Amino acid sequence: MANIHSFAADYSEARDKFLSAARIANATTARYDNPTKGPKGEALSTDVARIGPEDASKVVVTISSTHGAEGYCGSGVQVDWLATVGAGGLPKDTAALFIHAINPYGFAWTRRVTEEGNDLNRNYVDHSKPYPINNGYADIHDWLIPKDFGPNSVAQADAKLAEYRAKVGDKAFFAAMSGGQYTHPDGFFFGGGGPSWSNRTLHAIADRYLKGRSDIAVIDFHTGLGPYGYGEPITHYNIDSGGSRRVRAFWGESVTESKRGQTASAARDGLGHYGLNRVFKEPETRLTMCTLEYGTFDRESGQKAFRADHWLHKYGDPLGKEAAPVRAAMRRQFYPDTDDWKEAVLYRGHQVVRQAIAGVQLGAI
Ligand SMILES: [Zn+2]
């Protein structure tokens, strides 16, 4: 029976619940220590729980906290699955690998970004190649994050942003703002500066637990887009590829594919999807990955919370008294702390994981 108490009140509690649930499930665990600390000085780590045969050729993977503060959601599903389903939900030759808090800094500080300022879903680019160019971002950076965050100064910055948007059009405006940029580490959607700790850790985990497997499904939990409480499996495979056929076979009619224009999420470079699909390739491995994106509140309130968070960490004092309302707004935006939302998240989370477990049994299709 799904249990809303699987969700935690903060990062440390989430980690404790995850490790307790891993024990209940008889999972083997591993810890990857992050070099930074949380706001209360707490130690931070990514933790891994694995169940099923050592040599299983099929593995279902869940990832929580790619976008730090969104980690409450994925952590809750991971804890609930380990505590209530566990090995009994795995067919033969199938393992489950649960990656908890891949961005523990962001989870603990209630931010989307990593300690390097990275949006992890812009950081999985090939760092040996020149970074994607986003000239528009430099035009608006100072208006997105004005130094003076008082209402008058913010209103002036908003007027400048509106003027810019009218001049370049909606498409160019949103590409500049959220398409990803590789020049401003303290700015929105920064993806550069080399592979972040979280990126390197995900690859280390993949190397250790997933190499040489025939069928891998990955569910990366996110929040903030779409209808309240609904989880949308979003995918980025090329049309007519094996990946595209498999996502439909796994998740049915509810799956959305960016390459078919079925989702507002764009197939932009730097996504975890591309990071893992560069490592695991057919015919050795069939990797089938989705972002499970749960709706919370409207985009405008998200934008507002996100902006204040960037201001706090660029110009404010993240440990001062101005921090509490900023973190509270981020937390609410990415983790609606209500029973109905949690129930919906758990129901859908169990469903999508169960479908992935059934899906990896299909082999080549
Ligand atoms: Zn996200």
User: Structure tokens of 197?
Assistant: 């700790």
Domain boundary among 147, 178, 209: 178
Distance in Å, CA 73 to ligand 1 centroid = 11
Q: Are residues 115 and 94 in the same domain?
A: yes
pLDDT averaged over every residue in the chain: 96
Whole-model pTM above 0.85? yes
Q: How many angstroms separate the alpha carbon of residue 55 from the centre of ligand 1?
A: 32
Please say if the pLDDT value at position 2 is more than 80: no
Helix axes 299-314, 323-334, angle to 10 degrees: 140
Specify whether 338 is located in the same domain as 218.
Answer: yes
Mean pLDDT score, 294-306:
94
**How many Å lie between the centroid of ligand 1 and the Cα of residue 223?**
5
Residues 16-32, mean pLDDT to the nearest whole number = 98
pLDDT tens-digit map of 155-201: 999 999 999 999 999 999 999 999 999 999 999 999 999 999 999 99
pLDDT at 267 over 90: no
The CATH number that applies at residue 248 is 3.40.630.10
> What's the rounded Cα separation, in Å, for the pair 104 and 11?
8
Q: Within this chain, do residues 215 and 174 fall inside the same structural domain, yes or no? A: no
| pLDDT score recorded for residue 1 | 60
What pLDDT sits at residue 103? 98
Indicate if 270 and 154 belong to the same structural domain: no
Q: Is the predicted pLDDT of residue 143 greater than 90, yes or no?
A: yes
Burial class (CB in 10 A: 0-12, 13-18, 19+), 339: exposed
Q: How far is the CA of 59 from the centre of ligand 1 (A)?
A: 23
Q: Are residues 253 and 169 in the same domain?
A: no
Q: For residues 287 and 146, what is the distance between their CA atoms, to the nearest angstrom?
A: 42
Q: Is the pLDDT of residue 321 over 80?
A: yes
Looking at 178, 211, 239, the residue that finishes a domain is: 178
- Residue-level pLDDT at 144: 97
Taking only the tens place, the pLDDT of each residue in 86-105 is 999 999 999 999 999 999 99
Find the 320 Cα to ligand 1 centroid distance in Å. 26
CA nearest neighbour of 10 among 101, 117, 98, 80? 101
In the block, which residue shows the tokens 């902006």? 307
3-state secondary structure of 345: helix
Work out the average pLDDT over 292-305. Answer: 94
Count the domains in the chain.
2
pLDDT per residue over 51-65, tens digit each? 999 999 999 999 999
Neighbours of ion ligand 1 (CB under 5 A): 67, 70, 222
How many A from CA of 70 to the centre of ligand 1?
Answer: 6
Q: What percent of the chain has pLDDT over 90?
A: 96
